[in-house]
Chains A and B, each alone.
Chain A
Amino acid sequence: MIYLIKPFDKLISMVFLKASAILFLCITTAFNSFSGQISDTIYINSGTLQTFNGSSLPYKCFNSSSVFDKRNAILSYSISDTVSLTVFNNDIIPHRISSIELGIESGLIPPGMNETVSIHSATSGTFIYHDSENYPNNKILGLAGMIVFRNNSSASFYWNLKELDTLWINDISSNNQLSTEYNPKFFLINGNHNPDIIGDSSARIVGNVGDTIHIHIANTGNSIHSIHFHGYHLKVEQSSEHPGHEGRIKDTFPINPMEVLTLELVPHQSGEYPVHDHNLIAVTGANIYPNGMFLTMLIEP
């Protein structure tokens, strides 16, 4: 048994999660209220990702502070913002920051240096940013996150999907040739797996019946994922690979590597419902079930 919450603890955790979600939204809203020309800073940090079974993996992320965090920064802006984003490279090898859809391609950022790029989007939506240097190796080592440009103040949640092949990560980190086929063993949302992902207030959907909720999903991994929602159908607001799918109402959403989706959920019923990858290998971790890309949403009356 790896996840069992007693009823009282569960109640406390629900209250805490909802408060955290509201705080997160307040911060996001407050941040976005300063529309126009704004500045932001992220840091390329190198560190160690600890897996639940005790493995340590070399890992790199774009973080909002100079302290390594296994979660890549979620950059959320208003549609009217033009962002001057400065990227500090705290790593010992050079990197870049790029976004194909947003037309960003920085110069090479040597270790200890920084570079500033200007970001603007004429349309709202979810976008991937990543390190294009030594692509895709640095991305496989962790360097890929999401930028969201919003045109509303609805509740929003963010999922950066990524799977880890420990052999590949160790080979790339050691500058070795890849010696095996891609065979990921860990399946993460925002750097977390079940059950830890439930504690991520930016990921766990908490709301009320009738709310308009947006879910921003970026697949920065190398595998196709197929996200299934229990209890609800959602509308595709944005699909970077299949714009023709926008407007469709579905319960399961395949998403290809480096694809983004923006989904709209308006819950019609209350309850706690799972949302998970329906490639059921991805709800395991290191061959242990349950793990991986599985969390629950909490919708209150």
Chain B
Amino acid sequence: MTRRILFLVFLTGSFISLGQQVVNHQLIARNLGEKEMHDGVVLRTFGFAQSFSEQPPIPGPTLYANEGDSVVLDLFNVSQGAPHTIHLHGLDVNQENDGVPHLSFEVHHMEHGYYYFVAPHPGTYFYHCHVVSTIHVQAGMYGVFIVKPADGSNITWDGGYPYSQEKLYTMSEMDPLWHEDSVMEHDHDTTQTIHEVSIPEYHPSYFLVNGQSEQQLLEPDIALQTAKEEVSFLRMANIGYLANRVTFPEDSMLKLLVPTGDQL
């Protein structure tokens, strides 16, 4: 017994000395979310929340870890509907934790599913549900996972670019037809791992940045506010089904650092 305790103390000491942490995140999958659009229309959504008292936000909560951290992601499905998963897009996790229903596992209503991985290279990554992904992503089941350097400092990566503040812009679209019950209540035969689902043509009418559009984008927390000569780190992610071209003010001095992957 004493040896076992000493071994645990040794292990704990080793982890601390390497700067590694165990980071726990819980995401609650919900199928009955509501989102008010800029024109007052309320759409039904799916999403990931971090408490039972909140509407699942769109995009989902931004999750953080530092390089080398051991991450435990607890997906609690209280959707009362389809199974869900978490695919850790770009994090190159192993097959078991990849979140693809027929190759990994899916999490059914009132079940927990746990995903384990070590946070790799610092960067901006997506997580999203991979069950009937065309519908579930459109429904709102996505968010961003940010990996910072091992010490959590404001530097792009070890030996990279220091910055004083960072901003995340997640782009997406919404087609109201896809948010009707007839689409969202798709078949989910629990004895099957792949479901054939009929979906409508895609004609989005809301174009979102951080889940907001039109006058909602004037909210102070959306704008990137920076002082002259201040270095800001802008993370941009597009989970929509359309390609976007982003235009910045003419006198902005921007440098592309990471184009969907490792550093340049």
Contact = CB atoms under 8 A, between A and B. Distances in A.
Contacts of B227: none
A232 B100 contact: no
A225 B92 CA distance: 21
Contact of A288 (B92, B192, B196, B202): B196
Nearest to A254: B243
A1 interface: yes
Interface string B98-114: 10101100000000000
B90 A1 contact: no
A4 B189 CA distance: 13
A194 B22 CA distance: 38
A296 B102 CA distance: 11
Contact of B259 (A231, A233, A250, A271): A250
B181 interface: no
Given A273-B103, A287-B199, A280 B243 contact: no
A289 B195 CA distance: 7
A251 B260 contact: yes
B13 interface: no
Interface string B133-162: 111011000000000000000000000000
Given A273-B103, A280-B137, A283-B134, A249 B262 contact: yes
A287 B199 CA distance: 5
A40 interface: no
A279 B200 CA distance: 15
B83 to A, nearest CB: 14
Contact of A280 (B94, B98, B134): B134
Contacts of B87: 230
B98 A273 contact: yes
A26 B264 CA distance: 36
A174 B224 CA distance: 53
A269 B120 CA distance: 14
B193 to A, nearest CB: 7
A268 B95 CA distance: 12
A270 B103 CA distance: 13
Interface in A242-266: 245, 248-252, 254
Contacts of A268: 92
A273 B103 CA distance: 8
A279 B241 contact: yes
A153 to B, nearest CB: 27
A288 B187 CA distance: 12
Contacts of B132: 289-290
B192 A4 contact: yes
B261 A273 contact: no
Interface string B63-105: 0000000000000000000000001011011110010101100
A279 B173 CA distance: 12
Contacts of B260: 250-252
Contacts of B259: 245, 248, 250
A271 B243 contact: no
Nearest to A276: B133
A233 B262 contact: yes
Contacts of B242: 279
A85 interface: no
B89, B132, B260 — most chain A CB neighbours (10 Å)? B260
A245 B189 CA distance: 43
B135 A289 contact: yes
Given A1-B189, A4-B194, A230-B87, A287 B201 contact: yes
B11 interface: no
Contacts of B195: 1, 289
B92 A251 contact: yes
A296 to B, nearest CB: 7
12 contacts: A1-B192, A1-B195, A226-B243, A231-B94, A249-B262, A270-B95, A271-B94, A271-B103, A272-B103, A274-B100, A279-B241, A296-B103
Q: 9 shortest A-B CB distances, which residue pairs?
A: A250-B261, A271-B95, A280-B134, A249-B262, A251-B90, A289-B197, A1-B192, A252-B260, A2-B196
Interface of A: 1-4, 183, 224, 226, 228, 230-233, 245, 248-252, 254, 268-274, 279-281, 283-284, 287-290, 296
